[in-house]
Structure 1
Amino acid sequence: MTENTAFGRMHAAVNTGDLELIEKTIDEVVDPGLVFHAPVPTGVPGVRALKQVWRTLLPAFPDLRVHIEDVVVQGDKAVYRNTVTGTHLGEFRGLAPTGRSVCYGEIFIVRLDAGRIAEVWGVVDVLAQLRQLGALDA
């Protein structure tokens, strides 16, 4: 359904767990002027922030997988509801590896321009993620 879109290519790269491929794919499918609206503590904008997300997540969750549950497309925008799974095997947000599995939801709205990802809005269930890692009380 999304394989031939910029987001579909990005999704396929992410699920390889190969940071070099992910960053190469970002360079190919994401507009250099990306506007990235997501609660990521990177302190950098756009494409650099998007790359930093994967530089943070993959060492912490080397088996991370993103499963697309729903896609809604209208005009130049698509909404993706995803389920993310992984095992906490590396440092994440100051938390030492726990070996625990996580499963949490996220929703992204992606705007395309000339076939490239130009703008992203994201909501990630970080509360569920941190609870499953034992960083917060249930």
Structure 2
Amino acid sequence: MNTITDPRAVAARVYELFDTGNVGGLDEVLSPGLVDHNPVPGAASGIEGLRLLVAAVRDGFTGTRHELVFQGEAGDGWVVSHWRMTATHTGDWFGTPATGRDVSFTGTDLMRIVDGKVTEIRHVEELLQLHLQLTS
């Protein structure tokens, strides 16, 4: 059961789950009816799509760390977070085999949090930054 109710803390917990690879922990902070406006290609919009993404990060990288560069509330339960992820690429990442390279890239998420659960998310990751680090 989720005991976190502060919207910023709920959003921060999502990043902790990415960093630990704790797919099961997503039930603590994601609404079963979650709407993901930017799901992984081929994944459904919802909690299962986010499970897939957390597992992909866990399986593709070690030492994953999300640093919150900025976080603020935008009203009506919306939290905006700009983050930087650092890690080492040690496993397959959507078809790119492990390179052993250290990576650092940024992203911005908008999460709507109602009663301690993320009900809606819009996210943009700087995947070109990541791609260039993995392939150059």
Normalising to structure 2: TM-score of the pair? 0.86
Higher RCO (CA < 8 A, seq sep 6+): 2
Question: Aligned equivalents of 1:105 and 1:65: distance in 2?
Answer: 11
- Code of the residue aligned with 1:53 in structure 2: it is L
Kept after mapping to 2: 8 A contact 1:5/1:115 = no
Which residue does 1:83 correspond to in 2? 84
Deviation of 1:98 after TM superposition, in Å, equals: 0.7
- Code of the residue aligned with 2:60 in structure 1: it is A
Which residue does 1:45 correspond to in 2? 45
Deviation of 1:3 after TM superposition, in Å, equals: 9.0
Q: Which runs of 5+ in 1 are unaligned?
A: none
- Code of the residue aligned with 1:56 in structure 2: it is A
Kept after mapping to 1: 8 A contact 2:110/2:122 = yes
Quote the sequence identity (%).
26
Kept after mapping to 2: 8 A contact 1:6/1:30 = no
Aligned alpha-carbon RMSD (Å)? 1.8
Deviation of 1:59 after TM superposition, in Å, equals: 1.0
SS at 1:121 equivalent: strand
Deviation of 1:124 after TM superposition, in Å, equals: 0.2
Counterparts of 1:57-72 in structure 2 under 5 Å? 57-72=57-72
Kept after mapping to 2: 8 A contact 1:42/1:52 = no
Higher normalized strand content (fraction of residues): 2
Question: Aligned equivalents of 2:69 and 2:41: distance in 1?
Answer: 26
Picking from 6, 9, 13, the partner of 2:13 is: 9
Question: Aligned equivalents of 1:124 and 1:14: distance in 2?
Answer: 14
Q: CA-to-partner distance for each residue in 1:84-138, whole Å, 9 max, x for gaps?
A: 111111111211111111100000000011221000000000111000001xx6x
- Code of the residue aligned with 2:84 in structure 1: it is T
SS at 1:94 equivalent: coil
Q: Which runs of 5+ in 2 are unaligned?
A: 1-5
Question: Aligned equivalents of 1:60 and 1:24: distance in 2?
Answer: 18
**After alignment, is 89-98 or 76-85 more displaced?**
89-98
Q: Name the count of aligned residue pairs.
A: 130
Q: List, as ranges, runs of 4+ consecutive aligned residues in structure 1 with deviation greater than 6 Å.
A: none
